[in-house]
Amino acid sequence: MAFVSGLAVGSGSAFTSGSRVKSTSDRIYVQNEKVHTSRSVVSMSARKFFVGGNWKCNGTKQSLLELVDAFKTTDATDAVEVAVGAPAPYLDCTRTALRSDWSVAAQNCWVSAGGAYTGEVSAEMLTDIGCDWVILGHSERRNIPEIKESDEFIADKTAYALGAGLGVIYCIGELLEEREAGKTIEVCERQMKALASKISDWSKIVIAYEPVWAIGTGKVATPEQAEEVHAALREWLAKNVSSQVSESTRILYGGSVSGGNCDELAKKPNIDGFLVGGASLKPDFIKIVESYKFSE
């Protein structure tokens, strides 16, 4: 058993670092900052690179439409999937104005069908206006005291959203004090366990690992730190769900991703894309989208 940066993961064989393949149905260990996997290796072509933008509670209708227009400067490609998370009042106009090869994501939805739930938005309403994705479990909704959504509530919302036809970007990640206490994997596994207890179909789940201490702070996990957690998450999926889900589920990194660090992060074998906050509100979000070229 090896311990790396507060992580504890199992030992195995068959060194597979280098090219962007790598997912496992057996064990993973870290040695000299290189990820080793055993037996099952799947081509990255099975996991299309995914970049999500989370605009949070920012922008005006005019500023966001100008941004959407700036995103039309590159040619369409099937090599990367992109979804932008607009604030709820602007979801409809964003979908109308956005390039057709990109999707729109909501930033939240209610846990059941519509009804007497003042202020909430149902998954059915989101699909009705053309949303394909919803972001659930973001650290701000988990940790802001006035919101403080529980693991179970987020998992329930995820299950309902899937049933309504949405794809879900399911966010997980540890606080700074949890990382310093060596609890990174413990926290992430707890959040994953809550989800696994509520769903059986993982085909429309994208996991976003976002260390809370790196979100909006300008701090970013090193490519090696991010890869360690992503590899451990893939191992958890293999052990607790199935090797097929482990190999096919995309795991994104989020936390101060920018045009300056995305290329190096994208080279890591278990980083399948990004969930981007502040940088997604700038025209050079395109550069982050194009980092898929470094994942091949």
Active site members: 138, 210
Backbone angles phi, psi at 96, to 5 degrees: -65, -40
Are the CB atoms for 286 and 74 separated by under 8 Å? Answer: yes
Alpha carbon distance 171, 163 (integer Å): 18
Alpha helices, DSSP H, located in the chain: 61-70, 91-97, 123-128, 139-143, 151-163, 176-180, 184-196, 223-240, 243-248, 262-266, 285-289
In terms of Cβ atoms closer than 10 Å to its own Cβ (0-12, 13-18, 19+), residue 5 is middle
Residue 171 CA, chain-centre distance (Å), reads: 6
Q: What tokens does 107 get?
A: 């930033």
Q: What tokens does 239 get?
A: 């052990």
Alpha carbon distance 289, 275 (integer Å): 10
